[in-house]
């Protein structure tokens, strides 16, 4: 079975078989006590077994009491088994995925390079953090690392499921490699950044196996509520026995056990763990490593989303499309100096400037400038360039940065510069201003494109109350143009790393949860500060270590879908909790009249379902309580379908569908079961 087939198939025969075995193993009381609601059901099962052996232990009387007690015990046993099965199914899907991932984690050999460049063949398990390894065509990359030299195609299908190889190179946006992937052309020198056993593949395996899963705060809070409801009903049932005896109503212990099990929230108690595991599973199958369940859950509560422009909102391939000379500068001089400043610029923008110069007939000898000092771009200076050996200083960068530099050097700003910058900015492009010494030569027009379909996604987010903010190093005019085209709610222009942190802090100060994406070392502080930080797998190690989620496909726009998965998790949990508690209303009308009708005939008025006999009513409610759990497993696994809408509308919809439905479905189900089992109850002469 292919990975895509495995992802699309809800359950296989193998998973079902293993889940059944696991469901029996989970019956161990030491495990069951972790789920207090179902633990009470299991205790009820043991009490019913004892009453089957000693039917008159508490002075109970009735026809074929032993048979009635054993029927109750069997139904309770099946109820616990179904709850365990639901959890085991969720775990089984994760384990099945983990098995396929483990096949990619091979104990391969690695070509370890020493300080002299000599190759030593060692086991991949012996490679330590900081080691340099050589990987050539056909080699498996031994562990996660950063490319320090070379360019090659890497097959990442074992991790991402995508068959098309990805081009990896030193110094670019794709300088990070993942252990377990395969080089399919050329060669790379990789500096290993993690120790064996701590790679992202290892973390992913641990995640999908459930080994690292902890209950989220919302899950703990809901579990506390369920335990509280269970204790309340337990107290009610315990006090009901003497009160009924005082009123002359004799209630059998097994009937009280059945009443307790039907009234406590067994449905959500049995499915709660499965919902959490399935939520993590959905994120993992989306090729995202969530380092905690809390991160997934936080996605569902996000109020503000901070997004980088380049690569997220736009394609990120800002390519030079035009040279615009200003003042008295000549086109030929502008092209020449633009190319010289970009000869060692490994960014897509820098390479495109050289390429555009070639197309326009200007090609320079790289060797002539290889001894020059090339200055890399930084977020602080917002410019890059080169210092030539003859003393010539060339810079290219943001308009404001270059203008400030020229003013400091005593140069003049060309009168038509601002007009050229604005023309590029209004078109949604990025203007790069080129200067030599204290003279500005012109503007390079870097063209980028907003990704199609993003505007519709931002509308969906706006409908559910999420504000989107775009961060960009572009000037305000360019930023405003792109923001308007993309449909984001706000933008931060000329953004530095500290500006991102301030934006996150300001939103959090208003009590909002913030999500953001990033891939660079300068994004790491903001990723760590955000409530949900999604780092790209192609990004730097610092970014991945700072974030609480890592996207193996390196698609920054995926955070939009991840937020929806988080909301789906919360909605599913809330919807099934509503359904479970609403169930109790119908079961109340089934069991309470059945208990008291014999002694108090007027209670028959509450038998709105028209159930045949007291014992058929009790058993019908108990059977429905058991079978509803496996019937809801598909919803728990796949999640309630998410529709973007305001929280008030979402609450109203869930109350109608799952609240009202939670009351209607049991009325119908219990009545049908009563019609089916009534002949059996009468044949056994129970009561």
CATH number at residue 181: 2.70.150.10
**Domain endpoint, select from 504, 528, 552:** 552
Report the predicted TM-score, pTM, of the whole model to 2 decimal places.
0.67
Q: Is the pLDDT of residue 280 over 60?
A: yes
Is 127 part of a structural domain of the chain? no
How many residues are there in the chain? 687
Is 495 part of a structural domain of the chain? yes
Is 459 part of a structural domain of the chain? yes
Taking the CA atoms of 96, 100, 106 and 112 in sequence, report the sign of the dihedral they define.
negative
- Specify whether 537 is located in the same domain as 438: no
Written in H, E and C, the secondary structure of 646-681 is CHHHHHHHHHHHHHHHHHHHHHHHHHHHHHHHHHHH
What's the number of domains the chain is made of?
4
Q: What is the pLDDT of residues 422-480, one digit of tens each?
A: 998 888 788 999 999 999 999 999 887 778 778 888 888 887 788 889 888 777 888 88
- Specify whether 218 is located in the same domain as 74: yes
Is 101 part of a structural domain of the chain? no
- Residue 598 Cα distances to 257, 592, 687, angstroms: 19, 11, 10
**Domain endpoint, select from 151, 184, 207:** 207
Pairing type for strands 132-136 and 109-113 reads antiparallel
Burial of 640 (0-12, 13-18, 19+ CB in 10 A): buried
- Specify whether 325 is located in the same domain as 432: yes
- For 505, residues 6+ apart whose C-beta sits below 8 A from its C-beta are 529
- Specify whether 496 is located in the same domain as 602: no
The proportion of the chain whose per-residue pLDDT surpasses 90, expressed as a percent, equals 21
Spatial distance between the Cα atoms of 161 and 285, rounded to a whole number of angstroms = 10
The token duo for 363 is 């090609």
Is 372 part of a structural domain of the chain? yes
Is 8 part of a structural domain of the chain? no
- Specify whether 664 is located in the same domain as 574: yes
- Domain that includes residue 175, residue range: 108-121+132-207
Average pLDDT (229-249) is 82
pLDDT band at 6 (very low <50, low <70, confident <90, very high): very low
- Specify whether 477 is located in the same domain as 548: yes
- Residue 447 Cα distances to 315, 317, 471, 572, 576, angstroms: 10, 8, 18, 43, 49
Residue 306 near residue 530, CB atoms below 8 Å: yes
The token duo for 133 is 């390894």
- Specify whether 443 is located in the same domain as 455: no
Assign residue 481 the CATH number of its domain: 3.40.50.1000
Is 528 part of a structural domain of the chain? yes
517 versus 445: the higher-pLDDT residue is: 445
Report the run of H or E that residue 572 belongs to, with start and end.
helix 558-596
**Domain endpoint, select from 517, 552, 587:** 552
- For 599, residues 6+ apart whose C-beta sits below 8 A from its C-beta are 247, 248, 249, 250
DSSP notation for 367-427: GGGTTSEEEPP-TTT-EEEEE-TTS-EEEEE-HHHHHHHHHHTT----TTHHHHHHHHHHT
- Specify whether 160 is located in the same domain as 187: yes
Q: What is the pLDDT of residues 602-643, one digit of tens each?
A: 777 777 788 888 888 889 999 999 999 999 988 888 888 877
Assign residue 343 the CATH number of its domain: 3.40.1110.10
The 8-class DSSP code of residue 320 comes to E
As a dihedral over the C-alpha atoms of residue 514, residue 450, residue 565, residue 500, rounded to 10 degrees, the angle is -10
Is 7 part of a structural domain of the chain? no
- Specify whether 222 is located in the same domain as 90: yes
- Specify whether 149 is located in the same domain as 189: yes
Q: What is the pLDDT of residues 242-257, one digit of tens each?
A: 877 776 777 788 888 9
Spatial distance between the Cα atoms of 28 and 388, rounded to a whole number of angstroms = 76
Q: Would you please indicate which residues are annotated as catalytic (active-site) residues?
A: 308
Phi first, then psi, for residue 673 (nearest 5°) are -60, -40
Highest mean pLDDT among 134-143, 198-207, 387-396: 387-396
pLDDT band at 94 (very low <50, low <70, confident <90, very high): low
- Specify whether 55 is located in the same domain as 68: yes
Spatial distance between the Cα atoms of 222 and 349, rounded to a whole number of angstroms = 51
- Specify whether 524 is located in the same domain as 438: no
Distance of CA 219 to the CA centre of its chain: 16
Q: What is the pLDDT of residues 348-369, one digit of tens each?
A: 788 899 999 999 988 887 788 8
- Residue 537 Cα distances to 181, 534, 547, angstroms: 12, 10, 11
- Taking the CA of residue 232 as centre, how many other CA atoms within 13 Å lie in the half-sphere pointing to its CB? 9
């Amino acid at each position: 079975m292919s990975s895509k087939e495995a992802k699309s198939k809800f359950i296989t025969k193998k998973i079902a078989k293993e889940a059944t075995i696991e469901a029996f193993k989970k019956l161990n009381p030491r495990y069951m006590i972790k789920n207090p609601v179902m633990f009470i059901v299991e205790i009820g099962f043991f009490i019913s077994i004892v009453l089957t052996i000693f039917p008159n232990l508490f002075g109970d009387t009735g026809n074929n009491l032993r048979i009635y007690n054993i029927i109750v015990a069997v139904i309770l046993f099946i109820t616990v088994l179904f709850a365990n099965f639901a959890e085991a199914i969720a775990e089984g899907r994760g384990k099945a995925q983990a098995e396929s991932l483990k096949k990619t984690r091979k104990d391969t050999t690695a070509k370890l390079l020493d300080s002299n460049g000599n190759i030593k063949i060692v086991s991949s398990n012996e490679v330590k953090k900081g080691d340099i390894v050589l990987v050539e065509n056909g080699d498996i990359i031994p562990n996660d690392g950063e490319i320090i030299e070379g360019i090659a195609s890497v097959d990442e299908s074992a991790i991402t499921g995508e068959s098309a190889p990805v081009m990896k190179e030193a110094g670019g946006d794709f300088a990070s490699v993942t252990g377990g992937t395969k080089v399919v052309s050329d060669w790379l020198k990789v500096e290993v950044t993690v120790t064996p056993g701590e790679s992202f593949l290892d973390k992913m395996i641990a995640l999908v196996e459930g080994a690292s899963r902890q209950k989220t705060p919302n899950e703990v809070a809901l579990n506390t509520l369920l335990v509280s409801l269970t204790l309340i009903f337990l107290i009610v049932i315990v006090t009901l026995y003497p009160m009924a005896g005082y009123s002359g109503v004799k209630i059998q212990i097994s009937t009280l056990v059945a009443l307790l099990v039907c009234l406590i929230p067994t449905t959500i108690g049995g499915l709660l763990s499965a919902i959490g595991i399935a939520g993590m599973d959905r994120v993992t199958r989306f090729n995202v490593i969530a380092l905690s369940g809390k991160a997934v859950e936080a996605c569902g509560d996000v109020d503000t989303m901070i997004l980088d422009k380049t690569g997220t909102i736009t394609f990120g391939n800002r390519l030079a499309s035009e040279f615009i000379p200003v003042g008295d500068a000549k086109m030929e001089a502008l092209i020449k100096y633009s190319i010289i400043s970009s000869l060692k610029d490994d960014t897509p923008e820098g390479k495109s400037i050289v390429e555009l110069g070639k197309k326009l007939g200007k090609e320079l000898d790289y060797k002539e400038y290889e001894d020059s000092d090339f200055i890399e771009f930084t977020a602080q200076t917002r410019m890059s360039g080169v210092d030539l050996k003859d003393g010539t200083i060339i810079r290219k960068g943001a308009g404001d940065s270059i203008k400030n530099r020229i003013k400091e050097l005593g140069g003049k700003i060309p009168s038509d510069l601002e007009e050229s910058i604005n023309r590029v900015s209004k078109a949604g492009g990025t203007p790069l201003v080129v200067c030599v010494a204290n003279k500005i030569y012109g503007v390079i027009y870097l063209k980028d494109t907003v990704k199609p379909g993003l505007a519709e996604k931002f509308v969906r987010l706006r409908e559910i109350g999420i504000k989107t903010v775009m961060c960009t190093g572009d000037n305000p005019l360019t930023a405003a143009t792109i923001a308007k085209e993309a449909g984001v709610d706000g933008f931060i222009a000329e953004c530095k790393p500290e500006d991102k942190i301030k934006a996150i802090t300001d939103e959090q100060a208003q009590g909002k949860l913030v999500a953001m994406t990033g891939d660079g070392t300068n994004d790491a502080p903001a990723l760590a500060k955000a409530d949900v930080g999604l780092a790209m797998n192609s990004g730097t190690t610092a970014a991945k270590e700072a974030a609480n989620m890592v996207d193996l496909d390196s698609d920054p726009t995926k955070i939009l879908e991840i937020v929806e998965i988080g909301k789906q998790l919360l909605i599913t949990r809330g919807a099934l909790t509503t359904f479970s508690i609403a169930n109790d209303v119908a079961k109340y009308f089934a069991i309470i009249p059945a208990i008291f009708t014999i002694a108090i005939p007027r209670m028959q008025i509450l038998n709105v379902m028209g159930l045949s006999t007291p014992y058929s009513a009790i058993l019908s409610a108990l059977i429905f309580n058991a079978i509803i759990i496996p019937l809801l497993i598909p919803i728990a696994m796949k999640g309630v379908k998410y529709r973007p809408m305001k929280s008030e509308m979402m609450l109203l919809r869930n109350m109608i569908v799952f609240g009202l439905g939670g009351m209607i479905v049991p009325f119908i189900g219990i009545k049908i079961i009563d019609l089916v089992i009534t002949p059996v109850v009468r044949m056994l002469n129970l009561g």
